[in-house]
Structure 1
């Protein structure tokens, strides 16, 4: 007995065209999501480095203030090199309502022209009172 094949196995042209249409619609959306993820990763990396630059600058301000016995007042600016790039920072020190306390704001950006929109801004309140007896564990021992 001989069997005849009336229909060949495989996909029809319509099925192949529908599959291609689905892939053509999904692929650009996937590529767009992937590029957004890559951009977000770069932004978070830059923001983390800017935080480190600001924290380093705050530590330096504290050390210099303690060594010199005087807290910086007014504004200061500079450039720090970290992770193979230059990072621009601006420090603003203002008097608060509390005696001997200053508000220190450190803004960090990846270019000098983006001062108005920094990647990271660190705000700290520092005492300008550097007497020996105000530090716990130090002093006359009374």
Structure 2
């Protein structure tokens, strides 16, 4: 016998449709979340590289202005910052303006990286040349 009261609840079809929607949406949400996590790591690396490049730029600027440091061609090296090893490449080129030189400083996350995380170009006058 059926009761005259209305029964409340979801039908089996409604529950199955809801589960199907969740099953499709959940992997997509996880994918977006993982992309955000990867992007956060990349931004952290870029920010750390910017700190390394600022430190190296200050060092080059001080050496050229106080000690008459001159660089010919390319110079490479490594530095430890934030418990990580960073590689750098510094190149110097002449400019059309006398006594001014174009410096390009590239920061790499590892020694074997081909693409730099960050590149900074700056121009300096050699000390002693007025």
Q: TM-score, normalised by structure 1?
A: 0.84
Match of 1:39 in 2: 38
Q: Give SS of 2:112's match.
A: helix
Q: 1:119 aligns with which of 113, 117, 127?
A: 117
In the TM superposition, what is the alpha-carbon distance from 1:7 to its structure 2 partner? Answer: 5.0
1:102 aligns to 2:109 (yes or no): no
Unaligned runs of 5+ in 1: 135-142
Match of 2:10 in 1: 11
In the TM superposition, what is the alpha-carbon distance from 1:6 to its structure 2 partner? Answer: 6.2
CA contact (8 A) 1:54 1:108 kept: yes
Q: C-alpha distance in 2, partners of 1:125/1:22?
A: 58
Q: Summarize deviations over 1:96-121 as a string: whole Å, max 9, x none.
A: 1111011100100111111x310000
Q: C-alpha distance in 1, partners of 2:72/2:54?
A: 18
CA contact (8 A) 1:65 1:72 kept: no
Pairs aligned (count): 129
Unaligned runs of 5+ in 2: none
Q: Could you say what the CA RMSD is over the residues aligned between the two structures, in angstroms?
A: 1.7
CA contact (8 A) 2:66 2:127 kept: no
CA contact (8 A) 1:47 1:120 kept: yes
Runs of 4+ in 1 over 3 A off after TM superposition: none
CA contact (8 A) 1:108 1:118 kept: yes
Q: Give SS of 1:46's match.
A: helix
Match of 1:86 in 2: 85
In the TM superposition, what is the alpha-carbon distance from 1:16 to its structure 2 partner? Answer: 0.2
Q: C-alpha distance in 2, partners of 1:111/1:70?
A: 27
CA contact (8 A) 1:87 1:109 kept: yes
Pick the structure with greater CA Rg: 1
